[in-house]
Structure 1
């Protein structure tokens, strides 16, 4: 099996794991950047740590290295178009990428949060580690909260966006 064949098979196999979809954003010198990710997870409650993985060559990773800050917005099922837009490498850079998208500044870092999302995490970089063709970015969530917790989440499975019927209520999740 060639390296290319291995990469295709690994990606297909990993695609069997349903993930949430989020957008990671950062701002440096008042220039915002953002990118869709499905590699996001919480790491620790004490301290409040989260993790995302970004390709070494991504502009967003370079900006996070320079700024030391980022925010993650957890996307809702009705945000498929936003997820596709920020996953498209052909989108414009900087503020032009956000035209027509409702965003607001995260309270601690000033990174952009997507206002129609489910939740956000406003982070300061705690650690960066190069692993393979990506960097693992661990951030301390210094501010976080629910935005629209009753909306259904956007999921990614087998190479496409999916959703579930509805988000569970706080009472039924307990």
Structure 2
């Protein structure tokens, strides 16, 4: 099987969309990530997987902390901006939660401190403890078969 065929098969798994954010050298940066999952309730752990070619790959290893913002269907433009599928055309609604940047208005936002990393092929898996969270009302944006979708 080739890489495109594998990617297409993995695209058949519907996921939510998150924005991973961190502060690095006086700059707030973020990226769209759908490789996100809960790992444990005690302690409260999550995991994200970041491609070694991503500009945040090394930076997350250095900062050791990041925010996760689970997006609503009304925040598709933010997903596209952080995925570099669209030019930034407005201010990004960033707030601080436990001192970590997150997207204001997300369905859920998590402040996380990295506990472990594991190299996995061309990605790094970051396992992090959730130190604070916030939830809001709304419906999630879904990513399936290469397209953004809603629950409707």
TM-score range, shorter chain: over 0.9
Q: 1:88 to 1:66 in 2, by over 3 A?
A: same
Where do residues 1-174 of structure 1 align in structure 2 (5 Å cutoff)? 6-88=2-84, 100-107=91-98, 110-146=99-135, 148-149=136-137, 151-165=138-152
Q: CA RMSD in A?
A: 1.7
Q: CA deviation at 1:28?
A: 2.4
- TM score, norm. by length of structure 1: 0.82
Q: Which has the higher strand share?
A: 2
Count of residue pairs brought into register by the alignment: 152
Q: Which has the higher helix share?
A: 1
> Residues of 2 paired with 1:37 and 1:162: CA distance?
15
- TM score, norm. by length of structure 2: 0.93
Q: Secondary structure at the match of 1:47?
A: coil
Where does the alignment leave 5 or more consecutive residues of structure 2 unmatched?
Answer: none
Contact kept in structure 1, 2:80 and 2:86, CA below 8 Å: no
Q: CA deviation at 1:103?
A: 1.3
Q: Which runs of 4+ in 1 moved over 3 A?
A: none
Contact kept in structure 2, 1:27 and 1:33, CA below 8 Å: yes
Partner residue of 1:170? none
Contact kept in structure 2, 1:26 and 1:112, CA below 8 Å: yes
